[in-house]
Amino acid sequence: MRFLLTKTTAVLALSLACAGMAHATALDQFKTFVSGTKAARGEFTQRQVKKADAGKVAAPSSGTFVFARPGKFIWTYVKPYEQLLQADGEQLYIYDKDLNQVTTRKLGDALGSSPAAILFGSNDLEKNFTLSEAGTRDGLEWLNALPKGKDSQFEQISIGLRNGTPEAMELRDAFGQTSVLAFKKFEKNPPLTATQFKFVIPKGADVVNN
């Protein structure tokens, strides 16, 4: 009887916690996500929103991601072609499998006020972004992040959250193009190995240092 009561109480507590999170503002949900999520992994899809006066839009892409704060991540495009973006906390490596070419650059210069900084960077997001509520849409609570850096390639980044987890991002660049990312199978704080983010140059690859 005690076990059943304890189990029921735990389920009720979890339900109330989820209900409370569902009614929390996007900013509250996001701050909770950032402070409580040291690592994560999952899958993503990415597509470009076509403007009325736009030309041909790139084909949708999909892949996987894994990250550990601050500044360690593996972002893998699987379709329509294979490409890898990997950071070990100090360096960013971009590997194009078709060209067998690796481009490297210092992570601090590459991260900054980019979308990657929101998911993979430090907890001090308000240093690089101005955050504001953006209402409810498509069942998600939305947050706008405006980059403070003048050299950012993006005018606005929007994050859609549900129950404290990002499910979508919208990226509007300086040319008015918008890319939409959707996340699924988002797993918070999975067990990761110490060497998981160490990049190994593929055999025979050309290396370009920027």
Q: What does the pLDDT profile of the chain (210 residues) look like in tens digits? A: 333 333 333 332 333 333 344 457 999 999 899 889 999 999 999 998 866 455 566 789 999 999 998 889 999 999 999 999 999 999 999 999 999 999 998 887 566 667 777 888 776 777 788 999 999 999 999 999 988 877 677 888 999 999 999 999 999 988 888 999 999 999 999 999 879 999 999 999 999 987
- pLDDT, position 11: 33
- pLDDT, position 183: 95
Between CA 113 and CA 115 the distance in angstroms is 7
Between CA 72 and CA 196 the distance in angstroms is 9
- Which of 166, 45, 178, 171 is closest to 113 using CA atoms? 171
Query: What six digits make up the tokens of 24?
Result: 């929390």
- pLDDT, position 13: 34
Between CA 134 and CA 203 the distance in angstroms is 47
- pLDDT, position 120: 83
In what order do the strands lie in the sheet containing 154-162? 129-137, 140-147, 154-162, 165-173, 178-188, 39-49, 61-68, 72-79, 83-88, 91-96, 101-106, 206-209
Nearest 10 degrees: Cα torsion 17, 22, 27, 29: 40
79 by Cβ neighbours in 10 Å (0-12 / 13-18 / 19+) ranks as: exposed
- pLDDT, position 123: 65
What CATH code would you report for 23-209? 2.50.20.10
